[in-house]
Structure 1
Amino acid sequence: MRPVPRPVRPGQESVWDYPRPPRLEHVDARVTIDLGGERVVDTHDVVRVLETSHPPVYYLPISAFVPGSLAPDRGASFCEFKGSARYLSVRGGDVVVPRAAWNYPTPAPGFEQLADRVAVYAGEMDACTVDGERVTPQPGGFYGGWITADVAGPFKGGAGTAGW
Protein backbone atom coordinates (compact mmCIF):
# COMPACT_ATOMS: atom_id res chain seq x y z
CA MET A 1 0.00 0.00 0.00
CA ARG A 2 1.45 3.34 -1.06
CA PRO A 3 1.40 6.01 1.66
CA VAL A 4 0.04 9.50 1.12
CA PRO A 5 2.82 11.90 0.06
CA ARG A 6 3.29 14.89 2.33
CA PRO A 7 2.50 18.33 0.89
CA VAL A 8 5.40 19.87 -1.01
CA ARG A 9 6.43 23.35 0.14
CA PRO A 10 8.05 25.90 -2.19
CA GLY A 11 11.59 24.78 -3.05
CA GLN A 12 10.90 21.14 -2.17
CA GLU A 13 10.57 18.00 -4.24
CA SER A 14 8.60 14.91 -3.26
CA VAL A 15 10.40 11.58 -3.11
CA TRP A 16 7.14 10.17 -4.48
CA ASP A 17 7.89 11.92 -7.77
CA TYR A 18 11.27 10.17 -8.07
CA PRO A 19 11.39 7.34 -10.62
CA ARG A 20 11.70 3.58 -10.32
CA PRO A 21 14.09 2.38 -11.58
CA PRO A 22 16.16 5.16 -10.04
CA ARG A 23 18.00 7.85 -11.98
CA LEU A 24 21.37 9.52 -11.53
CA GLU A 25 21.63 13.28 -11.30
CA HIS A 26 24.69 15.52 -11.08
CA VAL A 27 23.99 18.34 -8.64
CA ASP A 28 25.67 21.66 -8.02
CA ALA A 29 26.18 21.30 -4.29
CA ARG A 30 28.97 21.26 -1.74
CA VAL A 31 29.00 18.08 0.35
CA THR A 32 31.09 17.64 3.49
CA ILE A 33 31.54 14.71 5.85
CA ASP A 34 33.15 14.92 9.29
CA LEU A 35 34.25 12.01 11.46
CA GLY A 36 36.46 11.83 14.53
CA GLY A 37 36.85 15.59 14.59
CA GLU A 38 38.25 15.65 11.05
CA ARG A 39 36.80 16.57 7.68
CA VAL A 40 37.15 13.41 5.58
CA VAL A 41 35.57 14.83 2.42
CA ASP A 42 34.70 18.27 1.01
CA THR A 43 33.61 18.22 -2.61
CA HIS A 44 31.41 19.82 -5.23
CA ASP A 45 31.63 16.71 -7.46
CA VAL A 46 28.31 15.20 -6.45
CA VAL A 47 25.99 12.64 -8.02
CA ARG A 48 22.76 11.72 -6.33
CA VAL A 49 20.57 8.71 -6.96
CA LEU A 50 16.83 9.37 -6.88
CA GLU A 51 14.40 6.50 -6.32
CA THR A 52 10.70 6.47 -5.44
CA SER A 53 10.06 6.77 -1.68
CA HIS A 54 13.74 7.29 -0.80
CA PRO A 55 15.57 10.49 0.05
CA PRO A 56 18.51 11.06 -2.32
CA VAL A 57 21.65 8.98 -1.87
CA TYR A 58 24.75 11.10 -2.46
CA TYR A 59 27.71 9.52 -4.25
CA LEU A 60 31.08 11.24 -3.96
CA PRO A 61 34.35 10.53 -5.76
CA ILE A 62 36.66 8.14 -3.95
CA SER A 63 39.44 10.58 -4.83
CA ALA A 64 37.68 13.36 -2.83
CA PHE A 65 38.14 11.47 0.45
CA VAL A 66 41.20 12.19 2.58
CA PRO A 67 43.84 9.53 1.83
CA GLY A 68 43.51 6.62 4.25
CA SER A 69 39.93 7.49 5.26
CA LEU A 70 38.38 4.61 3.26
CA ALA A 71 39.30 0.93 3.55
CA PRO A 72 37.67 -2.25 2.20
CA ASP A 73 35.48 -3.98 4.76
CA ARG A 74 33.59 -7.26 5.06
CA GLY A 75 30.35 -8.02 3.30
CA ALA A 76 28.53 -7.18 0.12
CA SER A 77 25.01 -6.52 -1.07
CA PHE A 78 23.10 -6.48 -4.33
CA CYS A 79 20.80 -3.85 -5.81
CA GLU A 80 18.48 -4.96 -8.59
CA PHE A 81 19.29 -1.74 -10.46
CA LYS A 82 22.89 -0.81 -9.61
CA GLY A 83 24.41 -4.28 -9.18
CA SER A 84 26.86 -5.65 -6.59
CA ALA A 85 28.10 -3.33 -3.85
CA ARG A 86 31.09 -3.66 -1.56
CA TYR A 87 31.35 -2.10 1.88
CA LEU A 88 34.04 0.20 3.21
CA SER A 89 35.03 1.39 6.64
CA VAL A 90 35.48 5.13 7.16
CA ARG A 91 38.28 6.57 9.31
CA GLY A 92 38.44 10.10 10.69
CA GLY A 93 40.84 11.04 13.46
CA ASP A 94 40.98 8.10 15.87
CA VAL A 95 37.52 6.85 14.88
CA VAL A 96 36.93 3.94 12.49
CA VAL A 97 33.37 3.04 11.57
CA PRO A 98 33.04 -0.39 9.92
CA ARG A 99 30.74 -0.77 6.91
CA ALA A 100 29.83 2.94 7.00
CA ALA A 101 30.15 3.37 3.22
CA TRP A 102 29.65 1.42 0.02
CA ASN A 103 30.31 1.58 -3.67
CA TYR A 104 29.63 -0.30 -6.89
CA PRO A 105 33.04 -1.16 -8.42
CA THR A 106 31.38 -2.61 -11.54
CA PRO A 107 27.89 -1.09 -11.66
CA ALA A 108 25.08 -2.33 -13.87
CA PRO A 109 24.45 -0.65 -17.24
CA GLY A 110 23.06 2.84 -16.79
CA PHE A 111 24.89 3.34 -13.48
CA GLU A 112 28.49 3.31 -14.73
CA GLN A 113 29.06 6.80 -13.25
CA LEU A 114 29.02 5.23 -9.77
CA ALA A 115 32.09 3.03 -10.34
CA ASP A 116 34.54 5.43 -8.70
CA ARG A 117 32.11 6.94 -6.20
CA VAL A 118 31.18 6.19 -2.60
CA ALA A 119 27.99 6.68 -0.60
CA VAL A 120 28.12 7.05 3.18
CA TYR A 121 25.59 6.32 5.93
CA ALA A 122 25.07 9.79 7.41
CA GLY A 123 24.02 8.42 10.79
CA GLU A 124 27.44 6.82 11.27
CA MET A 125 29.34 10.11 10.79
CA ASP A 126 29.77 13.10 13.12
CA ALA A 127 28.11 15.28 10.47
CA CYS A 128 27.23 15.25 6.79
CA THR A 129 26.16 18.46 5.05
CA VAL A 130 24.74 19.48 1.70
CA ASP A 131 25.38 23.16 0.96
CA GLY A 132 25.90 23.79 4.67
CA GLU A 133 22.71 22.05 5.82
CA ARG A 134 23.26 19.15 8.20
CA VAL A 135 21.45 16.10 6.81
CA THR A 136 19.20 13.69 8.66
CA PRO A 137 19.81 9.99 7.91
CA GLN A 138 17.08 7.98 6.20
CA PRO A 139 15.12 5.99 8.80
CA GLY A 140 16.11 2.39 9.46
CA GLY A 141 19.52 0.82 9.19
CA PHE A 142 19.60 -0.44 5.61
CA TYR A 143 19.12 2.49 3.24
CA GLY A 144 21.55 5.38 2.99
CA GLY A 145 19.50 8.37 1.89
CA TRP A 146 20.17 11.86 3.18
CA ILE A 147 17.18 13.97 4.18
CA THR A 148 17.42 17.73 3.69
CA ALA A 149 14.82 20.49 3.90
CA ASP A 150 14.29 20.33 0.13
CA VAL A 151 12.76 16.82 0.09
CA ALA A 152 9.31 15.77 1.30
CA GLY A 153 8.36 12.23 2.39
CA PRO A 154 7.25 10.06 3.90
CA PHE A 155 10.44 8.05 3.45
CA LYS A 156 10.92 4.31 3.15
CA GLY A 157 13.08 2.71 5.84
CA GLY A 158 11.20 3.14 9.08
CA ALA A 159 8.91 0.68 10.82
CA GLY A 160 6.01 -0.48 8.64
CA THR A 161 7.54 0.63 5.33
CA ALA A 162 8.93 -2.70 4.08
CA GLY A 163 6.06 -3.19 1.62
CA TRP A 164 6.41 0.17 -0.11
Structure 2
Amino acid sequence: MAAGSAPTRTLNVQSFPRPPLMERCNRHIQIMWHGALIADCPVGEAYWVLETHHAPTYYIPPNRVRMPICTTPRTTFCEYKGQATYYSLMSPISAAETVNNRIWSYTEPLKDFEAIRGYIAFYVGPWDCYVDGERATPQPGEYYGGWITSDVQGVVKGQWGTWDPVF
Protein backbone atom coordinates (compact mmCIF):
# COMPACT_ATOMS: atom_id res chain seq x y z
CA MET A 1 0.00 0.00 0.00
CA ALA A 2 1.52 3.31 -1.04
CA ALA A 3 2.07 5.96 1.58
CA GLY A 4 -0.60 8.63 1.62
CA SER A 5 -0.43 12.31 2.32
CA ALA A 6 0.71 13.49 5.74
CA PRO A 7 -2.06 14.10 8.27
CA THR A 8 -3.29 17.67 8.18
CA ARG A 9 -4.05 17.85 11.89
CA THR A 10 -3.63 16.05 15.16
CA LEU A 11 -6.75 14.34 16.44
CA ASN A 12 -6.85 14.36 20.24
CA VAL A 13 -9.61 12.02 21.39
CA GLN A 14 -10.04 13.95 24.63
CA SER A 15 -11.15 16.98 22.57
CA PHE A 16 -13.78 15.06 20.60
CA PRO A 17 -17.36 15.99 21.58
CA ARG A 18 -20.12 14.12 23.32
CA PRO A 19 -22.65 13.65 21.86
CA PRO A 20 -20.49 12.64 18.91
CA LEU A 21 -19.81 14.74 15.83
CA MET A 22 -20.51 13.26 12.39
CA GLU A 23 -19.04 14.95 9.34
CA ARG A 24 -17.68 14.24 5.89
CA CYS A 25 -14.00 13.46 6.05
CA ASN A 26 -11.37 14.26 3.49
CA ARG A 27 -9.69 10.89 3.75
CA HIS A 28 -9.16 8.04 1.31
CA ILE A 29 -10.45 4.85 2.95
CA GLN A 30 -9.42 1.38 1.73
CA ILE A 31 -9.90 -2.11 3.11
CA MET A 32 -7.81 -5.08 1.92
CA TRP A 33 -8.28 -8.75 2.76
CA HIS A 34 -6.04 -11.56 1.55
CA GLY A 35 -4.62 -9.21 -1.08
CA ALA A 36 -8.02 -8.22 -2.48
CA LEU A 37 -9.36 -4.69 -2.32
CA ILE A 38 -12.77 -5.18 -0.70
CA ALA A 39 -13.63 -1.49 -0.21
CA ASP A 40 -12.30 1.71 -1.72
CA CYS A 41 -13.77 5.09 -0.81
CA PRO A 42 -12.28 8.22 -2.41
CA VAL A 43 -11.58 11.42 -0.49
CA GLY A 44 -14.75 13.27 0.46
CA GLU A 45 -17.24 10.38 0.18
CA ALA A 46 -16.89 8.87 3.66
CA TYR A 47 -18.17 10.18 6.96
CA TRP A 48 -16.38 9.88 10.25
CA VAL A 49 -17.86 9.94 13.71
CA LEU A 50 -15.75 11.55 16.42
CA GLU A 51 -16.68 10.93 20.05
CA THR A 52 -14.85 11.63 23.30
CA HIS A 53 -12.19 8.97 23.99
CA HIS A 54 -12.94 7.09 20.73
CA ALA A 55 -10.77 6.70 17.68
CA PRO A 56 -12.57 7.88 14.52
CA THR A 57 -15.12 5.47 13.07
CA TYR A 58 -15.41 5.61 9.28
CA TYR A 59 -18.67 5.08 7.35
CA ILE A 60 -18.45 4.50 3.60
CA PRO A 61 -21.17 4.41 0.94
CA PRO A 62 -22.36 0.85 0.26
CA ASN A 63 -21.48 1.15 -3.43
CA ARG A 64 -17.80 1.44 -2.40
CA VAL A 65 -17.82 -2.09 -0.94
CA ARG A 66 -16.66 -4.40 -3.74
CA MET A 67 -17.83 -7.70 -2.28
CA PRO A 68 -21.30 -8.82 -1.24
CA ILE A 69 -22.20 -8.61 2.43
CA CYS A 70 -25.10 -10.42 4.09
CA THR A 71 -27.03 -9.41 7.19
CA THR A 72 -26.65 -11.45 10.36
CA PRO A 73 -29.14 -11.71 13.24
CA ARG A 74 -27.01 -9.47 15.49
CA THR A 75 -28.15 -5.95 16.35
CA THR A 76 -26.94 -3.41 18.88
CA PHE A 77 -28.26 -0.02 19.93
CA CYS A 78 -26.38 3.28 20.15
CA GLU A 79 -28.06 6.07 22.07
CA TYR A 80 -26.90 8.56 19.42
CA LYS A 81 -27.13 6.65 16.13
CA GLY A 82 -29.87 4.08 16.75
CA GLN A 83 -30.05 0.36 16.01
CA ALA A 84 -27.12 -1.15 14.14
CA THR A 85 -27.45 -3.96 11.62
CA TYR A 86 -24.48 -6.35 11.30
CA TYR A 87 -23.13 -8.23 8.30
CA SER A 88 -21.03 -11.19 7.25
CA LEU A 89 -18.40 -11.23 4.52
CA MET A 90 -16.99 -14.28 2.76
CA SER A 91 -13.24 -14.37 2.17
CA PRO A 92 -12.11 -13.48 -1.34
CA ILE A 93 -9.96 -16.64 -1.41
CA SER A 94 -12.00 -19.30 0.41
CA ALA A 95 -15.74 -19.83 0.75
CA ALA A 96 -14.97 -21.71 3.96
CA GLU A 97 -13.80 -18.49 5.65
CA THR A 98 -16.63 -16.13 6.53
CA VAL A 99 -16.37 -13.32 9.06
CA ASN A 100 -19.51 -12.35 10.97
CA ASN A 101 -20.43 -9.19 12.84
CA ARG A 102 -17.31 -7.13 12.04
CA ILE A 103 -19.22 -4.86 9.64
CA TRP A 104 -22.26 -2.76 10.53
CA SER A 105 -24.55 0.02 9.39
CA TYR A 106 -27.53 2.03 10.56
CA THR A 107 -30.47 1.36 8.23
CA GLU A 108 -32.81 3.58 10.28
CA PRO A 109 -30.49 6.02 12.09
CA LEU A 110 -31.70 8.57 14.57
CA LYS A 111 -32.32 12.08 13.23
CA ASP A 112 -28.88 13.61 13.89
CA PHE A 113 -27.16 10.75 12.04
CA GLU A 114 -29.48 10.49 9.03
CA ALA A 115 -26.58 11.20 6.64
CA ILE A 116 -25.00 7.78 7.37
CA ARG A 117 -28.20 5.83 6.59
CA GLY A 118 -27.00 2.60 4.96
CA TYR A 119 -23.34 3.60 5.04
CA ILE A 120 -21.04 0.73 5.98
CA ALA A 121 -18.51 0.65 8.83
CA PHE A 122 -15.80 -1.97 9.35
CA TYR A 123 -13.94 -2.99 12.47
CA VAL A 124 -10.19 -3.09 11.89
CA GLY A 125 -9.46 -6.77 11.31
CA PRO A 126 -9.29 -9.43 10.15
CA TRP A 127 -8.81 -7.24 7.09
CA ASP A 128 -6.31 -4.41 6.76
CA CYS A 129 -7.83 -0.93 6.95
CA TYR A 130 -6.09 2.12 5.49
CA VAL A 131 -6.60 5.84 5.91
CA ASP A 132 -4.76 7.88 3.26
CA GLY A 133 -2.47 4.88 2.69
CA GLU A 134 -1.61 4.43 6.39
CA ARG A 135 -2.58 1.09 7.92
CA ALA A 136 -4.89 1.63 10.90
CA THR A 137 -4.84 -0.33 14.14
CA PRO A 138 -8.01 -1.21 16.04
CA GLN A 139 -9.40 0.68 18.99
CA PRO A 140 -8.66 -1.45 22.10
CA GLY A 141 -11.08 -4.20 23.07
CA GLU A 142 -13.68 -5.84 20.87
CA TYR A 143 -16.61 -3.49 21.51
CA TYR A 144 -15.72 -0.32 19.59
CA GLY A 145 -14.93 0.05 15.90
CA GLY A 146 -12.56 3.02 15.86
CA TRP A 147 -9.48 3.18 13.65
CA ILE A 148 -6.23 4.43 15.17
CA THR A 149 -3.72 6.14 12.88
CA SER A 150 -0.56 8.12 13.66
CA ASP A 151 -2.51 11.38 13.94
CA VAL A 152 -4.82 10.05 16.71
CA GLN A 153 -3.56 11.05 20.14
CA GLY A 154 -4.80 10.70 23.70
CA VAL A 155 -6.25 7.86 25.73
CA VAL A 156 -8.62 5.81 23.57
CA LYS A 157 -11.53 4.06 25.28
CA GLY A 158 -11.83 0.28 25.13
CA GLN A 159 -8.92 -1.09 27.10
CA TRP A 160 -11.20 -1.34 30.17
CA GLY A 161 -14.38 -2.34 28.34
CA THR A 162 -16.98 0.41 28.02
CA TRP A 163 -15.62 2.48 30.93
CA ASP A 164 -14.30 5.95 30.15
CA PRO A 165 -10.61 6.43 30.97
CA VAL A 166 -9.94 8.02 34.35
CA PHE A 167 -7.28 10.72 34.60
TM over 0.5: yes
Contact 2:53 2:164 in 1 (8 A): no
TM-score (norm 2): 0.86
Q: 1:160 and 1:66 mapped to 2: Cα distance? A: 32
> Structure 1 residues 73, 163: CA separation in 2 closer, same or farther (over 3 Å shift)?
same
Structure having the larger proportion of residues in strand: 1
TM-score (norm 1): 0.87
Aligned to 1:35: 33
Secondary structure (helix, strand or coil) at the match of 1:16 reads helix
Q: 1:32 and 1:18 mapped to 2: Cα distance? A: 24
> Structure 1 residues 30, 72: CA separation in 2 closer, same or farther (over 3 Å shift)?
same
CA RMSD of aligned residues (A): 1.6
Q: 2:104 and 2:133 mapped to 1: Cα distance? A: 23
Give matches, 1:64-75, under 5 Å: 64-68=64-68, 70-75=69-74
Secondary structure (helix, strand or coil) at the match of 1:110 reads helix
Q: 2:164 and 2:10 mapped to 1: Cα distance? A: 25
In structure 1, list runs of 5 or more residues that go unmatched.
Answer: 1-9
Runs of 4+ in structure 1 displaced over 2 angstroms? none
Aligned to 2:46: 46
Residue identity over aligned pairs, in percent, reads 39
Secondary structure (helix, strand or coil) at the match of 2:84 reads strand
Contact 2:32 2:129 in 1 (8 A): yes
- Report how far residue 47 of structure 1 moved: 0.5
Aligned to 1:3: none
Aligned to 1:128: 129
Aligned residues: 153
Q: 2:112 and 2:84 mapped to 1: Cα distance? A: 15
Aligned to 1:86: 85
- Report how far residue 35 of structure 1 moved: 1.6
- Aligned-partner residue type, residue 51 of structure 2: E
